[in-house]
Amino acid sequence: MRMYETIFIVQPDLGEEETKGLTAKVQEVIANMKGDFKRLEDWGSRKLAYPINKFTRGRYYFLRFDGDAPLIAELERRLRLDDKVLRYQSVKIEKEVAAPVAAPPKAVVEESAEDVAESATESE
């Protein structure tokens, strides 16, 4: 068993049902392949640093799980086939990071407003 974390970006304009379906599918894959699901965080809609497939915003999901190589292959295959997923990235981690991730899920609205302000200053 190895420790993995996956970030995937989905289209920002999806409905409640579609995102629920997607996250349920991800958890189902992990369960089927005898992985150990730890947690799934929704970072909300964030501004992308560059457009992906003509989308300037994306909804970030952070997934933390344990599993073996076939599991990650299957999970990435699923994410690749789903065209609602803009981008995904899996990273094998050496040790559990207890500290909260840098982009906490709290205050989604504030976060995005701040991001817009940040990019405005960048472009100056």
Partner 1 sequence: MSEERAPQRSSSGPRKKRPFQRRKVCRFCADKQVSIDYKDPRTLRYFVSERGKIIPRRISGNCSKHQREITEAIKRARNIALLPIAGTHIMP
Give me the least distance between CB of 15 and partner 1, in Å please: 22
Could you tell me whether strands 85-92 and 36-52 are parallel, antiparallel, or unpaired per DSSP bridges? Answer: unpaired
| Closer by beta carbon to partner 1, 2 or else 46 | 46
Q: What letter represents residue 51's amino acid?
A: P
Binding site for partner 1 (CB under 8 A): 7, 9, 48-52, 54, 56, 58, 60, 62, 87, 89, 91, 97, 99, 101-103, 119, 122-123
Please provide the size of the chain in residues. 124
| Closer by beta carbon to partner 1, 8 or else 29 | 8
Give me the least distance between CB of 32 and partner 1, in Å please: 26
| Closer by beta carbon to partner 1, 29 or else 86 | 86
| Closer by beta carbon to partner 1, 73 or else 101 | 101
